[in-house]
Chain A
Amino acid sequence: MTAGVGTPVPRRPRTSRRSLTVILPIAFGIAFIGLWYLTSTLLLSPSRRFILPMPHEVLVEAFLTPKNLLALLGPLGTSSVIAMLGLAIATVIGIVTAVLMSQAKWVEITLFPYAVALQSIPILAIVPLIAFAIGYGFESRILVVVLISLFPIITNTLFGLQSTSPQMRELFTLKHANRWTVLTKLQFPAALPALFTGLRISAGMAVVGSIVADFFFRKGESGIGLVIDTYRNQLNGEMLYGAIILASLLGLVAFWVFGLLGRLFVGSWYRPDAR
């Protein structure tokens, strides 16, 4: 018997596409900064310029002055830790919930409305409740992060667990494989791409959650959200924008890290455009 039938599918050249994906965003960034300068020089009178200081002013004041940079990086670190802890807890709870839902339809039917509710209730509305129940400390901030990042993990993981074809499951039925085997050898690997999609979304949400929580739960080491609030009160435009930019970068990095992790874990086999 020969192996002559068919050859490995060749990869299509990607170089031009890839350079575009770098050039276009950079061009957009430059245009954006240009627009920023225009707004702050032409639209705002000098007395109101603190509302939107010019980019280089923010750069010098917030990022190139070591003392000021440190004043931002400390809280940023705190916010990152809170976001990561909350995300880790949400990941465990989310995966366990999705697995339970995938194993028994009645669990899914019972819990899904609450998962949706979790997504729909404005987090600000239950903040007083959290404060009332567990106080103004670290734990409350983490809880906000968990609540805000849980839903995408549950739904994406559940979708992934249920994405296996009936015929794939029959391979396991032929061997009378038990639920655990089907879960670990079929459903869970199949769910990994979707799980990482969920994690990526949730990572961004977690950063948002930790910043929002800062505004309300002020006990303990301050996070970047508290710093933003402080500079806002002080009308310190340069530092305010510096803090906002760092917070945004944190969200971007979180998104990017999980994209990278996803590619690391499933990139060797997952082809979104296949099928």
Chain B
Amino acid sequence: MNGGRHDVVVVGAGIVGAACAYEFARRGLRVAIVDREMVGGGATAAGMGHIVVMDDSEAQFALTRYSQTLWQDLRSELPTDVEYDRCGTIWVAADDEEMAEVRSKHEYYGKRGVPTEVLDSPSLQRLEPNLRPMAGGLLVSEDAVLYAPCAARFLIERAQEHGADLILGSPVTQMGQGKAELADGSRFTAKFVVNAAGACSPQLTPGLEVRKRKGHLVITDRYPGFIRHQLVELGYLKSASALHKDSVAFNVQPRRTGQVLIGSSRQYGAEHEEVDHEILSRMLTRAEEYMPGLAQVSSIRAWTGFRAATPDKLPLIGPWPGDESLFLATGHEGLGITTSLATGVLLADQIAGRKSQIAIDPYLPSRMAEVVAHGK
């Protein structure tokens, strides 16, 4: 069977693949999007959907901030089921040491034009009375929350309006050298093929240094107004960047539905998708420590998902050395929903040979090849 000829074939209809397809199609390329299952059913269905500016590194900041502004630009077009809500983030400081971190974060963001506000203990308490008394926090008011599976569907529908083809239900078994082959025997040829298969991307591109990093989440019944902002403990930064240990952090999110989404955990080496009760218990205990009232709230479901993690915690966006037709859009770890739109734009720029609005070097896959070459 012949899937036909396209300019670009995108493998993976998660939020990242969807954003790429959207951007390519908008720019007039003939696009096919292929997924083994459905739109937005992978990590995209599991993630929290926090659109958040992060400052772990200069490159991480640039990408998250750039992508956040792209989401803001798109905001008026997003259908209601995308549940876009600019609720803001509050980084919660438990003690004076973390308060010092609040102030340096405030300064860092301020210098780069991101509005933030330092909250002392009483103002934090007024904003979020269900938090136990804390030292204070940092409000980042432009951060937002959305529902990623519907966002992915929206982006793909837009791509389809620009002529993109969506092919669901059969896995890609092989891609590269200008083609993608599906298990059902069909075959797509294109000038470019994009591996946007998330945590499964190494299966399609051997040698790719992407590992699964498992996360757990719990959703509650509806309690409108229980919290108003995405609340994250400052310790989260330590926990998220600890590369080797299992970690949990207080990270809760208000949903448009009035539900509270409780996170989060990070584990390496756990490949099965079952809920790990021990981690769940640690994660919820942590949440109760910050918000005692959560203990009595009704929880309706727990689930897990896999982040696609790279060694340097930055995504892989660009050509894969050794195959001119093969591009990567993967390795987004815990930020792929945030950074999906920017990923699409950066990749489309590269394909068109255009200069991007932000420096792309930190995200180029060739950096991994260099690491290997230098024997590190």
Q: Check if A and B associate.
A: no
Where the two chains meet, the residues of B that have a C-beta atom closer than 8 Å to any C-beta of A are none
Where the two chains meet, the residues of A that have a C-beta atom closer than 8 Å to any C-beta of B are none
